Amino acid sequence: MSMVEALGYVGVVLVVATNLMKTMIPLRALAIAANLAFAGYFYMHALYPSCLLQVLLLPINGYRLREMIQLTRRVSQASRGDTMSWLKPFMRRRRYRRGDVLFAKGDIAKEMFFAVSGRYRVTALGVDLAQGEVFGELGLLAPEHLRTQTVECVEDGDLLVISYAQVKELYYQNPEFGFYFLRLVAGRLFTNLESMERRLAALSRPESKSVFT
């Protein structure tokens, strides 16, 4: 077997391996290797149109690989703090006015939010959501995707919005995202639980009695 034929078989093996990958980073890396192998094989056989195709696919796969590596790094960095600002490039801006209800308890949940400016309140808990905070994510995991709380705008501001469909797409491209998303959801649940415990403690606390002297 000549070196040229071996190069062609290597390309075949790499393409098969690419189709077996379940995550995007190794898939793109193998695709780049396959592009290089086939580009060399087609060039040696003077099949220039096929060679050109592989050469054109190289920067596309390279760009996508770089994009996913950067996303993984941003996710990892965000996990060390309280923000998920790395989601911003995948979100679209939306304006809300005071009195607007973002969503009500029992509504079908389809998207999550990132607070850029303004002020938003979880009405049942009396909790204000700070700028830079992500919310609305619980609906993705809630039974039948129903909202568990009502959130309204109490001060004009902007939000960044991402649909659950996009969140799922990010997860499929990078399963590591799913781990940090679950951490975000768990943090929200614990925060809500602590708030509810404080409210219950306040309600059960006996009223102070006046002392007359």
Using the structure block, give the residue that is written with the tokens 């129903």: 146
**Helix (H), strand (E), coil (C) string for 75-127:** HHHHCCCCCCHHHHHHCEEEEECCCCEEECCCCECCEEEEECCCEEEECCCCE
Residue 168 CA neighbour count, 13 Å, CB half: 7
Contact 187, 134 (CB under 8 A): no
What's the confidence (pLDDT) of residue 157?
A: 93
Q: Which of the pair, 152 or 181, is modelled with greater confidence?
A: 152
- Please state, in angstroms and rounded to a whole number, the distance separating the CA atoms of residues 116 and 120: 11
Q: Mean of the pLDDT values across residues 105-123? A: 91
Least confident of 52-56, 113-117, 204-208: 204-208
Contact 14, 61 (CB under 8 A): no
* Residue 22: per-residue pLDDT: 72
CATH classification code of 85-203: 2.60.120.10
Query: Can you tell me the mean pLDDT for 144-160?
Result: 91
Q: What is the pLDDT of residue 76?
A: 62
Asked if pLDDT for residue 184 goes beyond 90, the answer is no
Any idea where the domains of the chain sit in the sequence? 3-78, 85-203
Q: Using one digit for the tens of pLDDT, what is the confidence trace for 10-42? A: 888 988 888 888 777 888 899 999 999 999 999
